[in-house]
Amino acid sequence: MARLHPPVAGDCFRESCPAREVLNHVSSRWGGLVLGALLERDLRYSEIRARVGGISEKMLAQTLDILERDGLISRRSHPVVPPRVEYALTASGRALSERLVDLFAWIGENAHVFVHAQRQYDSRSESA
């Protein structure tokens, strides 16, 4: 008989892993890009939106909220008029972002390989 083991906190291959939810947030369409944008410095909402091309206001607001809930970013309100809010990486967010930008760089350096593979796949699909 197989033994049932409690979920291991860092085993994202297990369906019940609590870290899987964070993995989903970070690897979502926008999560990693927002984290990467904050690596250079703290940014205001409009600065993040300008840095992460194509993200809608709604998606940025949702992504910031999710990343703050995960403890990867912090939101700081300054008591000025008009209100000024800045977003910053937490220590965990910074450690993760440093790894993500390495991934971004690798993907960018190898983009031609992926484009070539996509074109080959598409040409096979069109002729089938």
pLDDT digit string, tens, across residues 89-101: 999 999 999 999 9
Tokens 């990693």 map to which residue?
A: 32
What is the radius of gyration, based on Cα positions, of the chain?
Answer: 19
The amino acid that residue 59 corresponds to is M
14 in any annotated domain: no
13 in any annotated domain: no
Number of structural domains found in the chain: 1
105: tokens are 């760089």
- Using CB atoms within 10 Å of the CB of residue 55, give its burial: 0 to 12 exposed, 13 to 18 middle, 19+ buried: buried
8 in any annotated domain: no
pLDDT at 8 over 70: no
111: tokens are 């983009």
pTM for this model (two decimals): 0.84
C-alpha closest to that of 63 among 99, 26, 105: 26
